[in-house]
Amino acid sequence: MKKVALSACLMGHSCRYDASDNLNETLLKKLSLYKIIPFCPEDDAFGSPRPTMDLIENGQTIEAISNKTNENLSLPITLYAQNFFNQHPDIKLFIGKDRSPSCGVCSAKIYNQNRDLIATNGTGLMAQEALKRGITSWDSELY
């Protein structure tokens, strides 16, 4: 059975920032021939509920910055992503929750240092790692 990496909130895990979920039964039906490997970098690193974060452009890099403390939260998300894909090298498909600063593939909002919105087609930090490894990646709303 082929493996798909899927944002855990889409499976009904209560791991969103407000400890709710994004259960998507239509999507789960479409993936019935796959073995689903769920992931949630933010729940793993910060727990649920947790303060929200935004993606902020900083020179050539995009950083996940806490909306509560302004702390740079990028490293634990990226480390989680690297570890996840190292543990599952046979994953061929990645489906991330659209618009998430961690999981969105081409739908994440990007802000500049003044917190002005500069793009709505950004890639979240976990999705960046999937793309870097050549994994076919989709936003959940487009799959």
Give residues in contact with ligand SF4 (CB under 6 A): 7-9, 15-16, 40-43, 97, 100, 102-103
Output the smallest distance, CB 89 to ligand SF4, in A. Answer: 20
Q: What would the DSSP string read from start to end of 83-124?
A: HHHHH-TTEEEEEE-TT-TTT-SS-EEEE-TT--EEEEEE--
Output the smallest distance, CB 17 to ligand SF4, in A. Answer: 7
Output the smallest distance, CB 107 to ligand SF4, in A. Answer: 11
Nearer to ligand SF4, 23 or 119 (CB): 23
Phi, psi of 17 (to 5 degrees): -55, -30
The answer for 135, left when phi > 0, alpha when psi is -120 to 50, beta otherwise, is beta
Nearer to ligand SF4, 76 or 118 (CB): 76
